[in-house]
Each structure stands twice: as structure tokens, then as C-alpha cells.
């Protein structure tokens, strides 16, 4: 059974005070969650607070991730952050290709693949969380599977299936991010199953071990039903990750899955 991963993407929210209160609230709250040892918890603060967050999570079970990275190890790339920098500060994960990066900042499948490849080249010192998903227009055109294939193929062409040996995938239907809309459990499961089958075309073992998260308005009220689906291995949480109580509510659902 794949181990659930509940990841909080704080996006461009936060302050020193919020970082401290939220991480401490999550860490303390997990101590009261039965079965908390059966799943992983990840927080991804804004880059300017990663050093503060690193110190706060160091004595807890909470893992630390970044929201973006540059594919180059160093150089004249003003304003960018490299994988060695993230590793040195204590990051264990990094989000790649989030829909907001693709839509708002024009990141292409090729650029995302380069970042993913850089993680692989450094032997997964920082684990990539590859975000993929379709827009509302693409779903209405019944192009969901085609879009997912394009986004996965861009990475597979660069790293091969071996690149997914330690990676995480996050399926995020763009139409369900920040809109209050949520894919039905059946819609989410269908997409996750398609992704896993796509990987299985190249390697059955890697396909079965790869964690695929759902990222689209997961909340405490719908988390258990979503996480109970066969191919959903956790959540990439946006708005609900900004309050310890709501994030812990999702963690409790993951704990139930882990105990089952």
C-alpha cells in the first residue's frame, strides 16, 4: 500500500508569524491524530520563509518543500533558486509545473521537464512533485487524457520512466483550483488511474509505487471520500492548508486510510 502524502501549498501567503504559528499548530496537532505515523505531511511556504520553516520542522515529522526551482545549479539567473540551495536549506520536495506557474508565468512542458530532469540528475536530493492537469475548456472538449499524456510525455522523453522512481505526481484539475469546485471522486479516480496506467506502459513496478496526489479544492469535508479512491495517494492542498485546523482535518482523513 502506498503511503499517503498530505502537502500544503501556501502559495504567496505568509509572514514570519504565520509560518511559525502554522507549522507549530500542524506539528502539535499531529501529536493528537491517531495513526499520524502512517502518512507523510509536507508544507511548502514561500521561498523567503523556507529558512525559518526549516528550523521549525527540524524536530518534527513535518517535511519541507519549495514551490518552484530553476533547472540550473548556479549562474547568472537573477531572482532564481537552485536545487543545491533548496537542499542546503533543508527542503526535501519541490513543486514543479503548478498550473499557476504554467498559466500565469508561461512555463512550458519543456521547461517543467528540464526542472524535473535536474532533480533526477541530483539523485532526487530534492524530490520533484510534478503537477499536471487540464483546464475547464480542455475538459469540456474531452481532452483531459490527451493533456495529461502531453504533460507526462514531456518528462518521459527527457528522463525515461526511471525518472519517476522516486518522484511524486499531483493531478490538479485547473478548473477546480481556488474555485470551490471539486472533481467528483469518480472523476478524480479516473484521472489518477489514467496517469498510473500511462506510467505502467513503461514500468509496472514504478507505476504501482508512484504516489499520485489530488490537488483541487480538497477540504476536510470531502477528503476521506477522495482519499479512499484506489489511485489517490494524498492531496496537494491550497486554501485549506493555510489554517492548521482545516489542514489537520484532511490529515485525519489520511490517518483513517492508513489505519484501514
Question: What amino acid positions are annotated as catalytic residues?
Answer: 98, 172
Cα 70 from Cα 256, distance rounded (Å): 37
Number of residues that make up the chain:
260
For residues 64 and 55, is the Cβ–Cβ distance under 8 A? no
For residues 151 and 193, is the Cβ–Cβ distance under 8 A? no
Region of residue 172 (left: phi > 0; alpha: psi -120 to 50; beta: else): beta
Cα 134 from Cα 137, distance rounded (Å): 8
Q: What contacts 71, CB < 8 A, 6 or more positions away?
A: 111, 114, 115, 117, 118
The dihedral of CA 2, 240, 145, 99: what is its sign?
negative
Amino acid at each position: 500500500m502506498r503511503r499517503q502524502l498530505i502537502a500544503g501549498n501556501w502559495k504567496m501567503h505568509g509572514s514570519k508569524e504565520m509560518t511559525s504559528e502554522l507549522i507549530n499548530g500542524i506539528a502539535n496537532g499531529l501529536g493528537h491524530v491517531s495513526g499520524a505515523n502512517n502518512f507523510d505531511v509536507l508544507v511548502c511556504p514561500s521561498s523567503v520563509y523556507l529558512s525559518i520553516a526549516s528550523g521549525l520542522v527540524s524536530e518534527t515529522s513535518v517535511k519541507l518543500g519549495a514551490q518552484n526551482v530553476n533547472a540550473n545549479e548556479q549562474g547568472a539567473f537573477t531572482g532564481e533558486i537552485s536545487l543545491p540551495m533548496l537542499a542546503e536549506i533543508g527542503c526535501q520536495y519541490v513543486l514543479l509545473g503548478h498550473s499557476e506557474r504554467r498559466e500565469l508565468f508561461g512555463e512550458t512542458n519543456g521547461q517543467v521537464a528540464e526542472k524535473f530532469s535536474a532533480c533526477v540528475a541530483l539523485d532526487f536530493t530534492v524530490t520533484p512533485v510534478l503537477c499536471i492537469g487540464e483546464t475547464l475548456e480542455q475538459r469540456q472538449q474531452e481532452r483531459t487524457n490527451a493533456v495529461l499524456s502531453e504533460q507526462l510525455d514531456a518528462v518521459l522523453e527527457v528522463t525515461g520512466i526511471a525518472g519517476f522512481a522516486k518522484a511524486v505526481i499531483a493531478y490538479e484539475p485547473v478548473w477546480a483550483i481556488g474555485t470551490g469546485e471539486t472533481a467528483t471522486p469518480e472523476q478524480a479516480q479516473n484521472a489518477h488511474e489514467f496517469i498510473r496506467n500511462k506510467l505502467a506502459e513503461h514500468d509496472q513496478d514504478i507505476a504501482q509505487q508512484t504516489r499520485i496526489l489530488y490537488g483541487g479544492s480538497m477540504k476536510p469535508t470531502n477528503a476521506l471520500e477522495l482519499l479512499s479512491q484506489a489511485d489517490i495517494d494524498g492531496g496537494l492542498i491550497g486554501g485549506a492548508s493555510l489554517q492548521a485546523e482545516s489542514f489537520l482535518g484532511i490529515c485525519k482523513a489520511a490517518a483513517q486510510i492508513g489505519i484501514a
